[in-house]
Amino acid sequence: MQNTATPTHCPYCALQCGMNLTPTPDGTVEVSERADFPVNRGALCGKGRTAPAVLARNVRLTSPLVRDEGGTLVPASWDEALDRIAAGLGRTRAAHGPDAVGVFGGGGLTNEKAYTLGKFARVVLGTSQIDYNGRFCMSSAAAAGIKAFGLDRGLPFPLEDIPKSGCVILVGSNLAETMPPSLRFFTELKENGGTLIVIDPRRTRTAEQADLHLAPRPGTDLALALGLLHLVIAEGRVDEEYVAERTAGWEDARAAAMAHWPEYVERITGVSVPELRETVRLFCAPESAMVLTARGPEQQSKGTDTVGAWINLCLATGRAGRPLSGYGCLTGQGNGQGGREHGQKADQLPGYRKLDDPAARAHVAEVWGVDPDSLPGPGRSAYELLDALGTDIRSLLLMASNPVVSAPRAAHVEERIRSLDFLAVCDVVLSETAALADVVLPVTQWAEETGTTTSLEGRVLLRRRAITPPDGVRSDLEVLHELAARLGVEKGFPTDPEEVFEELRRASAGGPADYSGITYRRLAEENGVFWPCPAVAEPVEDGEDALLDAPLPDDPARQAASGHPGTPRLFLDRFATPDGRARFVPVSHRAIAEEPDDEYPVLLTTGRVVAQYQSGAQTRRVAELNAAAPGPFVEIHPRLAARLGAAEGDPVAVVSRRGRAVAPARITGAIRPDTVFMPFHWPGEGRANTLTNPALDPTSRMPEFKACAVRLETVER
């Protein structure tokens, strides 16, 4: 056992905070400060500090499980478990065709595992039916970014630029609880004389730090952004020179915004006209400003248009593609960015290439050594895939996701999962979804494996293996290698992550998310490399130039480290569109999919708390985190509580058209009187996603997690 500290990164959110890991006698690791990483400078939230707790043998899975004839999951050998999975998937494919087999991935998988999972689905299974839970994260922002800029990367600038900007509008994000170490950038912004504006229907810990807090009605962020743009135009604050030189489509977007006058927007949003005017004044006064969005405006059935409206505000005021200015999306999951860049998403191939692009198919097929015509086309989005389980999709291979808790209309999703002919799950713990599987495989965790992730900044990072996994545990790459062999594909699925990354480099070369100039050697020596980072000509030992472009040379001796520095800041010279101009996209306000009515008169919005993460599958197994956040609750305004007759701590039922959830009341003036809030980390009767609406954005296919109609009922106990 080594006793030296291994520099690596946190397994949770997309900040990917730096940390050092030192092995302990009990087989886990001890976390210590790593001050050299610029994102967190050594600071960690409670989840990061306690992450090693899930490595303990008594917490995690250490043996494959198979379902016996009595319906109980029992330990089994790896060979038996893998044979069962190959047989189950193979039977379905033979009887019903390749698209009857589904694959569902996760935003916590490393780039290497996400890449291999996408390749496995398309090359081994031949199925188009693959997507991942990152669809529920930032797909609306991605779609809007591609429409406007021609490229999507969570943040087009590093976090270190935020404190140097003049004003930041933070829309629908509670960073103080979801990404606590990032809050220092906003504290420094204010210390430097900048202004922070927070838009959230709740007065969160983040909103308390703001110079101005706007609390719109959930689902009205689109109208709010349009109202602000209307005022920018009416008050003569448009940067006409910038619009003329660097954008296209302004007149149509201008006309759409002018239909959203301030008083009309006030009626829709509940944000007063003086507050709208003050927001415009604060945003336009300094030379630089930013808009950052998160799940609030994005997890809506109109999320793409909503983000597009905020981008339009940035473009009209000249706040995109300039130093210390721009639009950015705060990615949530640890590798939500890289997870979709390299093939887990239903319509994408590695390098952020489109699956329906013949040139992209040809390039990736050449790297994979297959016929481009053998690759399936685009498949269903995440919720649509889950909704088809047990009907069109008869078997499912699921990795690193827990949709029984995290998916919208979760009771229905659970029912669909139960109806499958066959379910195999790879996970580190026995999640609520894994507990329904026919076969469960125990896989390695962050501290037990090497691999890369891509942070919300677009910074590719190297997570290093610090300890040896327990006996009985294998990596996801080993799982896919073994399954591929059992299903007739002997080659092309290596188990060494660096070997996979070298193939990923070739597959991504020349694509929008070009990683071809990034190597493990560079990542080991640097604090990450920002994509795009194409390979460039480099001198090699024989004095010739090795042009490291697509595809990269097969000879490792000619794969010298790229001289490209990476791209921390996008769009400073041109946007990633054919003519280099950003596109205004005209949008107009429309209602959420399910407005309150007499039967369901209240709005529900959902979110996270600081001590838990996503579906809670891992954090709910950590004693310190459970002590801080032991269970679900319903946040209710005092006036609404009084009408209901509920006191603090009383059990309250929240009922939607999809189901019923029960949790204790938390009465606070920090939420709008017409809205209730529930965190979504827990299963059982307090499962918030039992209630949420799967209405989908027409472009991004993002479900409307953030707003649905409910009623409240008291509960006798």
The full set of domain ranges for the chain reads 65-135+335-511, 155-330, 602-714
Does the domain formed by 602-714 have CATH 1.10.1740.10? no
What is the predicted pLDDT for the residue at 536? 84
Cβ contacts of residue 465 below 8 Å, gap of 6+? 6, 447, 448, 449, 450
Q: 312, exposed or middle or buried, with CB in 10 Å at 0-12, 13-18, 19+?
A: buried
H or E element that contains 230: helix 221-234
Mean pLDDT of 10-32: 94
Do 32 and 5 meet the contact criterion of CB atoms below 8 Å apart? yes
What is the predicted pLDDT for the residue at 254? 98
The yes-or-no verdict on residue 545 having pLDDT over 80 is no
* Mean pLDDT for all residues in the chain: 94
Q: Distance between CA 397 and CA 483 in Å, rounded?
A: 11
Q: What is the pLDDT of residues 23-61, one digit of tens each?
A: 998 888 999 999 999 999 999 999 999 999 999 999 999
CB 177: neighbour CB atoms within 10 A?
A: 20
Q: Topology of 65-135+335-511 in CATH?
A: Rossmann fold (3.40.50)
- Alpha helices by DSSP H, listed for 97-182, are 111-119, 135-149, 175-178
215: tokens are 């609390």
- Over pLDDT 70: what percentage of the chain? 96
Helix axes 476-486, 111-119, angle to 10 degrees: 10
What is the predicted pLDDT for the residue at 549? 36
Kindly report which listed range (97-101, 206-210, 293-297, 562-566) carries the lowest average pLDDT score: 562-566
Supply the DSSP string of 343-410, one letter for each residue.
T-STTEETTTEETT-HHHHHHHHHHHTS-GGGS------HHHHHHTBTTTB-EEEEES--HHHHSSSH
The yes-or-no verdict on residue 344 having pLDDT over 80 is yes
Count each helix (H run) and each strand (E run) in the chain, helices first. Answer: 23, 32
Strands 353-354 and 348-349: antiparallel
- Reference 305, options 225, 231, 384; nearest CA is 225
Ramachandran angles phi, psi of 702, nearest 5° = -80, 130
669: tokens are 């003036």
276 pLDDT band, cuts 50/70/90, is: very high
Ramachandran angles phi, psi of 594, nearest 5° = -140, 95
- Reference 204, options 627, 635, 564; nearest CA is 635
Do 405 and 689 meet the contact criterion of CB atoms below 8 Å apart? yes
What is the predicted pLDDT for the residue at 712? 98
Do 230 and 263 meet the contact criterion of CB atoms below 8 Å apart? no
Q: Distance between CA 297 and CA 702 in Å, rounded?
A: 11
Q: Which residue has the tokens 């706007």?
A: 214
Q: What is the pLDDT of residues 382-416, one digit of tens each?
A: 999 999 999 999 999 999 999 999 999 999 999 99
Do 280 and 231 meet the contact criterion of CB atoms below 8 Å apart? yes
What is the predicted pLDDT for the residue at 212? 98
Query: SS in 3 state form for 178-218?
Result: HCHHHHHHHHHHHHCCCEEEEECCECCCCHHHCCEEECCCC
Partners of 653 in the beta sheet? 662, 713
Mean pLDDT of 515-542: 84
What is the predicted pLDDT for the residue at 334? 87
What is the predicted pLDDT for the residue at 3? 66
Partners of 196 in the beta sheet? 168
Strands 602-607 and 708-714: antiparallel
What is the predicted pLDDT for the residue at 716? 84
Do 323 and 482 meet the contact criterion of CB atoms below 8 Å apart? no
Mean pLDDT of 579-596: 97
Edge-to-edge order in the sheet of strand 451-454? 451-454, 459-463, 529-530
- Reference 507, options 476, 535, 477, 545; nearest CA is 535
Do 6 and 465 meet the contact criterion of CB atoms below 8 Å apart? yes
- Output the CA torsion 367→368→374→380 (10° steps): -100
Q: Which residue has the tokens 């003036």?
A: 669
Q: What is the pLDDT of residues 105-152, one digit of tens each?
A: 999 999 999 999 999 999 999 999 999 999 998 899 999 999 999 999
Residue 696, Cα to own-chain centre: how many angstroms?
A: 17
- How many angstroms separate the most distant Cα atoms in the chain? 82
Do 107 and 11 meet the contact criterion of CB atoms below 8 Å apart? no
Which amino acid belongs to residue 590? Answer: R
- Alpha helices by DSSP H, listed for 59-155, are 78-96, 111-119, 135-149
Query: SS in 3 state form for 298-315?
Result: HCCCCHHHHHHHHHHHHH
Identical fold for domains 65-135+335-511 and 155-330, yes or no, is: no
9: tokens are 């990164």
What is the predicted pLDDT for the residue at 537? 54
Do 24 and 5 meet the contact criterion of CB atoms below 8 Å apart? no
Cβ contacts of residue 149 below 8 Å, gap of 6+? 156, 311, 320, 570, 571, 575, 576, 577, 582, 583
What is the predicted pLDDT for the residue at 557? 36
Q: What is the DSSP letter of 543?
A: S
Do 276 and 199 meet the contact criterion of CB atoms below 8 Å apart? no
Do 545 and 520 meet the contact criterion of CB atoms below 8 Å apart? no
Cα 670 to Cα 183, 212, 599, 639, 711, distances in angstroms: 20, 15, 25, 12, 20
Q: What is the pLDDT of residues 605-625, one digit of tens each?
A: 999 999 999 999 999 999 999
Mean pLDDT of 342-367: 96
Q: Is the dihedral of CA 55, 58, 64, 66 positive or negative?
A: negative
The arrangement of secondary structure in 155-330, i.e. its CATH architecture, is 3-Layer(aba) Sandwich (3.40)
Do 321 and 569 meet the contact criterion of CB atoms below 8 Å apart? no
Q: Distance between CA 160 and CA 184 in Å, rounded?
A: 10
Q: What is the pLDDT of residues 567-586, one digit of tens each?
A: 999 999 999 999 999 999 99
CB 166: neighbour CB atoms within 10 A?
A: 21
Query: SS in 3 state form for 666-685?
Result: EECCCECCCEEEEECCCCHH
Helix (H, G, I), strand (E, B) or coil at 3: coil
The yes-or-no verdict on residue 542 having pLDDT over 90 is no
